[in-house]
Amino acid sequence: MAFDNSDFVNLLNFYKENDNFHDNARKSFNKFSEVSKSDNDAGAFKNPLIIDDNCIFDLDNMCWNSHLKNNGSVKSNRPLSVDALHFKNGRLYLIEFKGTFNSTLNLEEIMDKCIEKVDDSDLAGALESIKNRYDDEILCNLKIKPSDSLFLTLPQIYKYYCEKRI
């Protein structure tokens, strides 16, 4: 039996309903604005990266919900994922929100501004190395996340869905 669009829609609707989960479940279907918020080190939410009232599926929360144990605690070995799913006209979009403290600049521009202000050539060289290393790491992580979501996260939430639907 093939898995078609209607099967996928049923899977998404299952996660849209929080009644299918423990009371500790997180909202799996939410506004772009809510899903694009990230938390800081203290756990407080920052401003959204996108202001939009249209709703998308929060894949991180779907993954969280599928890993809830019966007592409401969560398993610690959840796979990483992109931030959100958007399913429209039979197409699946994997969404990753990225931001910096100054959303008008990207990492390279921020580092270049720092390097410009440094008088010490050794320190400027060290900053240049950091910029090159992390720029590549961010690009690598962004390339890996969709594969991780498709081959690890989605099968996990599908497995949970199948187990609960029986």
Distance between CA atoms of residues 71 and 24, nearest Å: 9
- Is the pTM value of this prediction over 0.85? no
The answer to whether position 108 is within a domain reads no
The answer to whether position 114 is within a domain reads no
The answer to whether position 129 is within a domain reads no
The answer to whether position 92 is within a domain reads yes
Q: How far is CA 46 from CA 3, 33, 56, 58, 116, in A?
A: 38, 11, 19, 17, 29
Encode pLDDT of 100-157 as tens digits: 444 455 667 767 777 887 778 888 888 888 777 766 666 666 767 777 788 778 888 8
Type of residue at 130 = I
Residue 11, domain extent: 5-102+148-165
The answer to whether position 123 is within a domain reads no
Distance between CA atoms of residues 125 and 10, nearest Å: 54
The answer to whether position 110 is within a domain reads no
Domains identified in the chain, total number:
1
The answer to whether position 45 is within a domain reads yes
The answer to whether position 40 is within a domain reads yes
CA proximity to 111, closest of 140, 141, 136, 144 = 136
